[in-house]
Amino acid sequence: MVQSQGVWPIASGPNELELTVLDWFRQWLGMPNGTGGLLTSGGSTAALMAVVAARHARVADDATLLPRLTMYTSTQAHSAVVRAAWMAGISRENVRVLPVDGAWRLRADAVRNAVAADRVAGRVPFLVVASAGTTNTGAIDDLPAIADLCGRESLWLHVDAAYGAFAALTARGPELLRGIERADSVVLDPHKWLYVPFECGCLLAREPGALKSAFHIFPEYLKDVAPGDEEVNFADYGEQLTRYARALKIWLSVRTFGLAPIRAMIERGIELAEYAEVLVRRESALEVLAPARLGILCFRAHPSDVDDAATLDALNERVNARINEPGRFLISSTKVNGAFSLRVCTHNWRTSERDIDELMGLVRESF
Ligand SMILES: Cc1ncc(COP(=O)(O)O)c(C=O)c1O
């Protein structure tokens, strides 16, 4: 493969492939023509570049505004979002981590109230980061209402869809993700639900010029690889100059298998978590903590004779350890409304209903 995919003149082929897959993603999410971006090492890097681009769009080089810049996200946002803000120089006290509703979704009214209070206090709100598929519960924030608010308040809307974006390919995806197409920028992770080997993330921006404005730099030693009119130097759109041809594995996978089986695998991942939820609801000693959403189910063991919160947490920590210890299954744990939760994620294309049956049998034997 060519040495570096950062600039067009030495990597026109791979760069054409990258433009092609970016346009697939744009279409899958229903974003407008002209949307652009780049492939990245993963969702965390893409989030950092989104925050830097949003910051640049708001303050450009006016360092005096920087200490007052304030951004908004939820308690359920991935840690990569908050870390991206820190790395982008947003002071820690200006990263608002807002509470969510009963379905673990960030709502527009929570953002509106926080923005209003911050404006009164002299801060400079500039960015809302919503989630489309939270890591904890698969929740999707109220994207249409948040997009309306961002429009009214002139805030950059970034959607972290690293987890959930490729659900857009399923029959129910477009309705679930409605509003994502209005975002200023979106992160997708092909190395998650597009089954592409890592590392492979993606940042899409409605106005790729905003990325270029934030990242473009043109030293004299690169003048021989300046792009022509119809050409793209991806190094101008992000932090990386030397980069490898990530588009190839996406392009090959979609071209080789076709979209139909990929769509079917994603659908199946969603359905398997729903199947697991049915099994959990059948058992009186098990309790659903967050219903199946986008291939994630949160639940716990809850025997009728145990009611104390600390005892339940300790019991479920033991169950989690017992399930994972033999190595047959790898589930994870998290906290749902403060309670220790077992968390099943059913994305793997090899996972079957029989696996879920076996897992639930093991759960029953583990307490
Ligand atoms: C919702 C969400 N955002 C961001 C990330 C970070 O992405 P990455 O691990 O590709 O850097 C993840 C998962 O790791 C995620 O689930």
Strand partners, 39: 202
The predicted pLDDT at position 229 comes to 84
The predicted pLDDT at position 84 comes to 98
Q: How confident is the model at residue 1 (pLDDT cuts 50, 70, 90)?
A: low
The predicted pLDDT at position 7 comes to 84
Average pLDDT for the chain: 96
The predicted pLDDT at position 230 comes to 84
Output the pTM of the full model: 0.97
* Chain Cα centroid distance, residue 247: 19
* 354: nearest Cα among 276, 265, 297: 276
Question: Secondary structure of 21-59 in the HEC alphabet?
Answer: HHHHHHHHHCCCCCCEEEEECCHHHHHHHHHHHHHHHHH
The C-alpha atoms of residue 95 and residue 129 are separated, in whole angstroms, by 10
The finding on whether 203 has its CB within 6 A of some atom of ligand 1 is no
The C-alpha atoms of residue 26 and residue 35 are separated, in whole angstroms, by 7
Share of the chain above pLDDT 90, in %: 92
155 has a pLDDT exceeding 60: yes
94 has a pLDDT exceeding 90: yes
Quick one: average pLDDT of 187-207? 97
Quick one: average pLDDT of 257-283? 97
Q: How confident is the model at residue 224 (pLDDT cuts 50, 70, 90)?
A: confident
Give the pLDDT confidence of 295-308 residue by residue, as tens digits.
Answer: 999 999 999 999 99
Mutation choice for ligand 1 from 189, 198, 246, CB with most ligand atoms inside 8 A: 189
Closest residue by Cα to atom 8, ligand 1, is 43
Q: How confident is the model at residue 312 (pLDDT cuts 50, 70, 90)?
A: very high
Per the model's pLDDT, the better-predicted residue between 6 and 265 turns out to be 265
Domains belonging to the chain, first-starting first, are 8-257 (3.40.640.10), 260-365 (3.90.1150.170)
Give the pLDDT confidence of 36-49 residue by residue, as tens digits.
Answer: 999 999 999 999 99
Mutation choice for ligand 1 from 135, 196, 345, CB with most ligand atoms inside 8 A: 135
The C-alpha atoms of residue 153 and residue 352 are separated, in whole angstroms, by 46
Q: Determine the distance separating the centroid of ligand 1 and the alpha carbon of 165, expressed in angstroms.
A: 12
CB atoms within 10 A of CB 121: 9
Strand partners, 156: 127
Q: Determine the distance separating the centroid of ligand 1 and the alpha carbon of 28, expressed in angstroms.
A: 20
2 has a pLDDT exceeding 60: no
Residue 282's alpha-carbon distances to 198, 226, 278, 292, 364, in angstroms, are 37, 63, 6, 15, 12
59 has a pLDDT exceeding 60: yes
The predicted pLDDT at position 61 comes to 84
**Contact present, 46 and 187 (Cβ < 8 Å):** yes
Give the pLDDT confidence of 19-36 residue by residue, as tens digits.
Answer: 999 999 999 999 999 999
Quick one: average pLDDT of 326-331? 96
116 has a pLDDT exceeding 60: yes
Q: Determine the distance separating the centroid of ligand 1 and the alpha carbon of 275, expressed in angstroms.
A: 25
Q: How confident is the model at residue 6 (pLDDT cuts 50, 70, 90)?
A: confident
Q: How confident is the model at residue 3 (pLDDT cuts 50, 70, 90)?
A: low
The predicted pLDDT at position 63 comes to 87
Quick one: average pLDDT of 239-256? 95
Cβ partners under 8 Å of residue 130, min gap 6? 73, 74, 106, 141, 142, 143, 146, 157, 158, 159, 160, 183
Q: Of the given ranges (119-128, 226-235, 274-283, 294-303), which has the lowest mean pLDDT? A: 226-235
Quick one: average pLDDT of 309-333? 97
The predicted pLDDT at position 364 comes to 94
